[in-house]
Structure 1
Amino acid sequence: MHKYPVSISLSSYGADLVRQQGQLSFVEVLAAAGAQRIEWREELLTTEQPHELAQAAADQGLECVFSSPLELWVAGRSQPNAELAVTLDRAQAFGARWLKVSLGYFTDTNDLDSLSALLNRHPVKLLVENDQTLHGGRIEPMQRFFNEIERLAVPVKMTFDIGNWQWQDQSATTAARLLGRHVDYLHCKAVARRA
């Protein structure tokens, strides 16, 4: 049986604790737990230095994913988000092989050729995650985006966040059936419904 690599997102430990202790303090914990990857969280960074985090992860044999709250597509703009190139560079500085972002406002007029050109020049691979927004977190826009990505052979894969489908009142099982072939990173997250 093939064992898939386990990645632990540092948001799992709670934003307050991670900001208080710093992301560096969790590297040995994840390695001791048997994780193969660590997911740095851009929104939880405080005074950490990219090279220190990258080196600490490498010393423990951990691969890195860099998670950014960046939306790939901004409303009213056909080109990818102007911050994408610098965010890819930032992810690389943190030792990441993957950058995780959300879809944003994808339309039929978005310029996928320019996205492809940028990604083909960069060593960091792009992952697009279903988020908790109506415009970028529902099955329909994700399906349209990944169908176009597949048709044009743009090097993008999906992060499938199991819990986020609940925010949209959509079935994770249906999403998996429709989007599964695009998934490279499965994000397991517990979600409890409240009244």
Structure 2
Amino acid sequence: MPSVLVATSAFGHRMIAEQGQAAMLPCLSNAGADGVEIRRELLPEDFDDFDALGRACDEHGLTVVYSAADELWSGDMLSPSLPARLDEAAALGAVAIKLSLGRYTGTSTDTWQRLSALIAASPVAWVMVENDQTRDGGTVAPLLACLEDATGAGCPLHMTFDIGNWHWTGDDPVLAADRLGRFVAYVHCKGIIFGQGRPHASVPDLAEMQTWQQLMSHFPRGVPRAIEYPLQAPELTGFVREQLERLRAL
């Protein structure tokens, strides 16, 4: 995977709704991004031209990670939407797909073999689960159980470590990095501020960036990372370039 990316959600739902995700690609390319994270929830409801969107990303020199909010697990059952999401990712030319964990309670050897077969049959190189903002899918224990079970079953399942989401679930990010770091293939970066009793994504300050360096020490060297915090500025390309360089220096 490329080293530094931007999730299109960083530009805000309103801008994406008005202009579309493809409209962000020239800015990302000009700012020096290595890749883009295409968000399924920001595509129009009837969207089906994944091939064209993938070609546009390629024309701008951007590697694609595909983000789908689907939950990989419901108890011991795989999501029935997984084959469709893998097909969409393949049509985009994505190197990786990111899903929510869902509610994992353990599963059978046959189910792990089925997941392994689906991954092996797809051109998408990396299938990842992310710590989301829920108790079921965003806390250390179920993520660790799933990823350890995957390793035991020989299934190539990886993790997206979202630095900010731990503040929604109350887990310690450093402890989470220590427990889960060996599974991490991709890092979501966002600063956090608190308002009205809840966390909100923000541009990270210097103190937050210093704590991120501590987190990174638990992950594989050179792990790819993505901006998932608000990118808003009068001179947008320059601001995006500046933020990409901050992440590249971690």
TM range (shorter): over 0.9
Give 1:48 deviation, angstroms: 7.3
Deviation sequence 1:87-136 (CA, Å, 0-9, x none): 10011112211111010011123522221121111111211100011111
TM-score (norm 1): 0.92
CA contact (8 A) 2:77 2:107 kept: no
Identity percentage of aligned residues: 38
CA contact (8 A) 1:23 1:48 kept: no
Deviation sequence 1:50-101 (CA, Å, 0-9, x none): 22211111112111011001000124xx331010001100111122111110
CA contact (8 A) 1:137 1:165 kept: yes
For 2:71, the aligned partner's letter is E
Look up the match of 2:203: none
* 1:106 aligns with one of 100, 104, 107: 104
Look up the match of 1:80: 78
Deviates more, 1:110-119 or 1:19-28: 110-119
Count of residue pairs the alignment pairs up = 190
| Runs (5+) with no aligned partner, structure 2 | 198-250
TM-score (norm 2): 0.73
Between structure 1 and structure 2, the one with the greater Rg is 2
Look up the match of 1:91: 89
Look up the match of 1:130: 131
| Runs (5+) with no aligned partner, structure 1 | none
For 1:128, the aligned partner's letter is V
Closer, same or farther: CA 131–68 of 1 in aligned 2, 3 Å: same
1:108 aligned counterpart, secondary structure: coil
Q: Which runs of 4+ in 1 moved over 6 A?
A: none
Query: Whole-Å Cα distance in 1 between the matches of residues 141 and 167 of structure 2?
Result: 15
Give the alignment's Cα RMSD to 1 decimal. 1.4
2:161 aligned counterpart, secondary structure: strand
Give 1:193 deviation, angstroms: 2.3
For 2:185, the aligned partner's letter is D
Look up the match of 1:53: 53
